[in-house]
Amino acid sequence: MSETSVLNPNPNISAYYQTRAAHHAVVTSDWLAQAQAAVAGGVSGEVTAAEVEDGCGVEKGGSVIEEFNSWRKQPDLAEAVAAIRALASSWDATSISLTAACDLFMRYVTRTSALEYEDFNSARSRLIERAEKFGEISYKARRIISMLSQDFIFDGCTILVHGFSRVVFEVLKTAAQNKKSFRVFCTEGRPDRTGLRFSNEMAKLDVPVKLLIDSAVAYSMDEVDMVFVGADGVVESGGIINMMGTYQIALVAHSLNKPVYVAAESYKFARLYPLDQKDMAPALRPIDFGVPVPSKVEIEKSARDYTPPQYLTLLFTDLGVLTPSVVSDELIQLYL
């Protein structure tokens, strides 16, 4: 059976509508067991070092467990309190994707009128059942996106990426596995040099890759056929909030008529409507310039920027391939 047929078991119905239907279904799954196995014995399968995006993921999960184990050693502290404190200490309050996913999760698991008429145990089972389904949908999202984007990657193309996005990595990994011939330009991704990590992962896949300093984007854009970026959050306008530098890359690409594609899971759709770059909660990161900086010199430490929808071409999501103008409609459906 082909991979496409697995993702779309009923070819008579669009995969877009099948995925949308899955978001509203209530079925059991083994997702919870997979998650528990991953926590107990490490994530198996295709998860690699590339599964860490913008400081979140497997490495972050290890720190949460260590924090929990540290708190639970206190004799007067209940395990539930230890868990809450561990999560609170590891929570990035400025993470848009985390906040949006939690908000959507709460809406999803409680979106059933049957909870009002069931006894406690039945209601509890229904909530767990819906939580498992939400996790299953989220787990499959990245793979769906990678399949939807393959028709847009052609042999001989050059793709510019910025930062380390797990879903963009999955898109390019799938293209490489499909024997497509392409090369990748990676920006350095200061201040945490995530582009260097991305270029290393591309090299492991034997994909031709070139590492660019961030200021060389305009210089190299004439060699680029398309731009692929991830997103920390997709906002109501259809724009995205992502790693610092995404906005200027989109501006340069737009001026040279290069398509800018965004790969993002639907749980990153956030009910936000920023009007400008400063209309967001600040996300600050330390920056090491390698040399001493005088105390009187002010340093811009913002870690992300906002890219308006007019500079984006398409968004590849687990709900389908969307234009930026459709995002607000999808948000309404997700939060109904």
Q: Please say if the pLDDT value at position 118 is more than 90.
A: no
Distance CA 216, CA 189 (A): 12
What pLDDT was estimated at residue 55? 36
Q: Please say if the pLDDT value at position 5 is more than 70.
A: no
Question: Helix 96-109 crosses helix 120-148 at what angle (to 10 degrees)?
Answer: 130
Domain range for 174: 143-288+300-335
Q: How many helices (H) and strands (E) does the chain have?
A: 12, 10
Give yes or no for a contact between 131 and 105, defined as CB atoms under 8 angstroms apart. Answer: yes
Q: Please give the mean pLDDT across all residues of the chain.
A: 75
Q: How many domains does the chain have?
A: 1
Region at 93 (left for phi over 0; alpha for psi -120 to 50; beta for the rest) = alpha
Give a yes or no: residue 216 inside a domain: yes
Give a yes or no: residue 4 inside a domain: no
- What residues contact residue 152 under an 8 Å CB cut-off, 6+ apart? 226, 261, 314
Give a yes or no: residue 156 inside a domain: yes
Give yes or no for a contact between 135 and 202, defined as CB atoms under 8 angstroms apart. Answer: no
Residue 282 is which amino acid? P
Most confident of 40-49, 67-76, 257-266: 257-266
Pairing outcome for strands 240-243 and 304-307: antiparallel
> What values do phi and psi take at 321, rounded to 5?
-90, 115
Give residue-wise pLDDT tens across range 267-302: 888 888 888 888 777 777 777 777 888 888 888 878
Give a yes or no: residue 51 inside a domain: no
What pLDDT was estimated at residue 119? 66
What pLDDT was estimated at residue 65? 72
What pLDDT was estimated at residue 176? 95
How many CA within 13 A on the CB side of residue 80? 0
> What values do phi and psi take at 48, rounded to 5?
-130, -170
Give a yes or no: residue 248 inside a domain: yes
Percent of the chain with pLDDT over 90: 36
**For range 183-205, the mean pLDDT:** 91
Q: Lowest mean pLDDT of 197-201, 260-264, 273-277, name the range.
A: 273-277
Give a yes or no: residue 311 inside a domain: yes
What pLDDT was estimated at residue 44? 37
pTM for the model: 0.67
CATH code of the domain containing 213: 3.40.50.10470
Give a yes or no: residue 200 inside a domain: yes
Give a yes or no: residue 258 inside a domain: yes
DSSP string, 26-80: ----SHHHHHHHHHHH---TT--GGG-BTTBSHHHHHHHHHHHHHHHTSTTS-HH
